[in-house]
Amino acid sequence: MSRPWALMVLIAAGLGPGLVPPGTAATASATGVTASVLRVGVVEGSPPCSVRRDGVWQGLAPELWNRVASRENLAFRLSGWPSTGELLEATRTGRIDVAVGCINVSPERLLRYRFSLPFQEDGLAVLVMRTPLDLGRAFLGALIGPGLLQLLGGFLLAIALLTALTWRVEHYGERAETRRLGRLRSCGKLFQVLATGPGGNTIVETNRGNAIVIAAYLVRIVAASLLVGFLTVRVVDETQGRARGRISDLTDLEGLRVAVRRGSISETLIRELNRESQPDRAIRPVPIGAIDEALPLLDQDRADAVLGDELQLSWLVRTGRSGGRLPLLSLRGIRPESQAFAFAPTLPEDTAERIDQAISSLKRSGVVGDLRAATVQPPGTGTTDEGEQR
């Protein structure tokens, strides 16, 4: 038998894998030829990142994985997991090949697990409930606060100075009208016109007087703008808190009942904060299985606040309903970290590289950004976990 024919027979019989030309394996990988179906795990009850409704997976992470698998022609089968911690352990022990979710790549996790290329960055946030009465109190607090009084005082002082200047420039003390009405009433009338505007053309006769009237007009415009801006910022700032006091930083959570998802970075952060605080001021974690459980806990006064991913809590603020109470983010952007998928140690390096390349391409083309923006929209078509998919 000639040498070429012998080589072909060995390859066809599977007896000579080391004799396959270098380009053959690369071509098989590029076309998506795989020996088995990827076992992919997804966290349940974590909208808008991942959630299963009526057997259909929805959210940012499943949608992104769908794009990656379709792009690389990867066969896979989905399974749901109750928490991120259990999902990561299943990945580490090889029970699944890929963990799909908005998984924070913390320094501790980076030492234990293998991650994909990050597809976004997100931080933690604190969510509280406010009632319309709380909002009314916040508005009144903004109205009677010292800042508003200072602004009003500055405006009145500026008008008073312009009134005195007008009195002198226009020689009001020598006018017959002043002697008839009296100095106090004449000065008060002049102050009223400069402060309110109407009648400004009747109180001056000289060019310098007209300049003062124009200056009073500018003072009124600037003061009105400052007052509107101040009230807007102050009211918004007052409403970003909780019913029983203000949450301005993480230390304000001490002594409160804080709802967190089991096995999450938020739970780890609470343990870290409690190690640094006094035992009688420790944060009392209230474990929840799904982020949807947070609002009922707050509404029933079984928790004072919720600590979780900002994306998830922002989704609750936009879509959650809880009677007449309003969910608000009191803190946001806490300790932002990269988020990625996780790989099993046994996942082939070429498969991991293909997934990373697909994520990078989808980020650059804006797909990841579009998926993130659509997470708060009404649920669309998701991915089922029934049977094998491509």
Q: Residue 76: which H helix or E strand, with range?
A: strand 76-81
- Upstream peptide bond of 82 is cis (omega within 30 degrees of 0): no
Structural domain 128-132+244-336, CATH architecture: 3-Layer(aba) Sandwich (3.40)
- In this predicted model, what pLDDT tens digit does every residue of 175-188 receive, in sequence order? 888 888 888 888 88
Amino acid residing at 133: L
Highest-scoring range by mean pLDDT, 168-177, 256-265, 376-385: 256-265
> What is the structure's pLDDT at 64?
96
SS3 302: coil
- In this predicted model, what pLDDT tens digit does every residue of 91-103 receive, in sequence order? 999 999 999 999 9
> What is the structure's pLDDT at 387?
42
Residues 6+ apart with CB under 8 A from 94: 344, 345, 346
As a whole number, the mean pLDDT across the chain is 81
Closest C-alpha to 295, from 315, 310, 275: 315
Please give the Cα distance from 98 to 37 (Å, whole number): 11
Q: Residue 269: which H helix or E strand, with range?
A: helix 265-276
Residue 274 has pLDDT above 70, yes or no: yes
Q: Mean pLDDT throughout 179-205?
A: 84
- In this predicted model, what pLDDT tens digit does every residue of 135-165 receive, in sequence order? 666 666 666 667 778 888 898 999 999 989 9
- In this predicted model, what pLDDT tens digit does every residue of 34-58 receive, in sequence order? 448 999 999 998 889 998 888 899 9
Closest C-alpha to 264, from 372, 337, 315, 371: 337
Q: Mean pLDDT throughout 131-137?
A: 65
CATH C-level class of 38-122+338-384? alpha beta
User: Which one is predicted more confidently, 321 or 334?
Assistant: 334
Q: Mean pLDDT throughout 244-249?
A: 66
Residue 2 has pLDDT above 70, yes or no: no
Q: Mean pLDDT throughout 307-326?
A: 81
